[in-house]
Homo-oligomer: A and B are copies of this chain.
Amino acid sequence: VQRFDIGVIAGDGIGPEVVGQGLAVLRAVAQGAGIEVTTTDYDLGAKRWHRTGEALPEGTLDELRRHDAILLGAIGDPSVPSGVLERQLLLTIRFAFDHYVNLRPARLFPGVRSPLDVARVAPEGIDFVVVREGTEGPYTGNGGALRVGTPAELATEVSVNTRYGVERVVRDAFARAQARPRKHLTLVHKHNVLSYAGHLWRRTVEEVGAEFPDVTTAYQHVDAATIFLATDPGRFDVIVTDNLFGDIITDLAAAVVGGIGLAASGNINPDGTAPSMFEPVHGSAPDIAGQGKADPTATILSVALMLDHLGRPDLAAAVEEAVAADLAERADSVRSTEQIGADIAARLR
């Protein structure tokens, strides 16, 4: 029998609630397929940090590394200084496990309400995927501060971009574009101002593009890309972009296709040298934690991305279809986190 050995970081706030339902759906679909799922819980997040002063204890990375994949709920709490858990836990894992493809699909499911006037601005629907670079850019923690707290304070942030890092994610994005019907790749950057990095990205897309002659390409400055995401999102197929631009436009993309309650993501190591990690795009939402109000759909769709990555696109599609069916009937019904998870799981049995 096939076995999936999953490391689980439920995390903070609504994390445990949504992860609970993500796992329920994973088990339902696995059972039907005769797959054995084993999970190991990792107690990481704000509480652990308060208790021990450590965000990611030594040795835990090594333990996490042994799993086939990781499912993460959400990390973050107002009681922890900004940046601590982000840098010491979430970004540490993304960087240590070389998650250079941060995959974020944006698809408007039937029945889901967009804040856009969709009939007018996206009559053909919305279905694209953002390939966000995950290990470079302004996320590396390079930079520093001088004379902090004085009138002469100076703070810098350095965006680091290498041909090595850009080329591998661009090639991955081209391959994903080639596998889709429209075969279209858009580079989003800001090469008219961020010229050093921008020209590296641009040249790399041109050069790698020669390996994918059937993929058409386009370029958008990141500012203009936000306009098109609001006024003509149907034009996008695959977008490739840097870590920070990707962070920004995928939240906007999530809003456009119905909100971060539905937005899935995969932090993927395509080379398989470490496990990939799947997580909803939303945060820990401490204001609604523990009330059964969180929408587990983003986590469930992240489980679909995980199944695809684990070599079972058939099961990924089944989960997506179950979610689509659930969404189509949702309208304004109010169900608990658990009920939504149970309803979707029931469709898979």
Contacts and interface: CB of A to CB of B under 8 A. Distances in A.
A128 to B, nearest CB: 16
Q: Range of interface residues on chain A?
A: 35 or more
Contact of A163 (B83, B142, B150): B150
B158 A156 contact: yes
Interface string A144-178: 11001111111111111111100100000000000
A86 B259 CA distance: 35
Interface string A214-239: 00000000111011011100000000
A83 B138 contact: no
B231 A251 contact: no
B244 A230 contact: no
A193 interface: yes
A110 interface: no
A68 interface: no
Contact of A226 (B116, B224, B252): B252
A333 interface: no
Contacts of A249: 226
Number of copies: 2
A43 to B, nearest CB: 22
Contacts of A259: 227, 231
A197 interface: yes
Contact of A196 (B144, B197, B223): B144
Contacts of A202: 82
A244 B247 CA distance: 14
B252 A193 contact: no
A4 interface: no
A193 B138 contact: yes
Most B CB contacts (10 A, CB to CB) among A197, A248, A251, A259 go to A248
15 contacts: A83-B191, A115-B116, A115-B117, A115-B120, A117-B118, A143-B158, A143-B197, A153-B162, A153-B163, A154-B160, A155-B199, A156-B158, A157-B158, A190-B247, A227-B260
Interface of A: 76, 82-83, 86-87, 91, 114-118, 120-121, 138-139, 142-145, 148-164, 167, 190-200, 202-203, 222-224, 226-227, 229-231, 244, 247-252, 254-256, 259-260
Given A82-B192, A83-B195, A152-B163, 20 more contacts: A86-B192, A117-B117, A142-B156, A143-B194, A145-B200, A149-B203, A152-B162, A154-B163, A155-B197, A155-B199, A155-B200, A156-B196, A156-B197, A223-B247, A226-B226, A226-B248, A226-B249, A226-B255, A230-B256, A231-B259
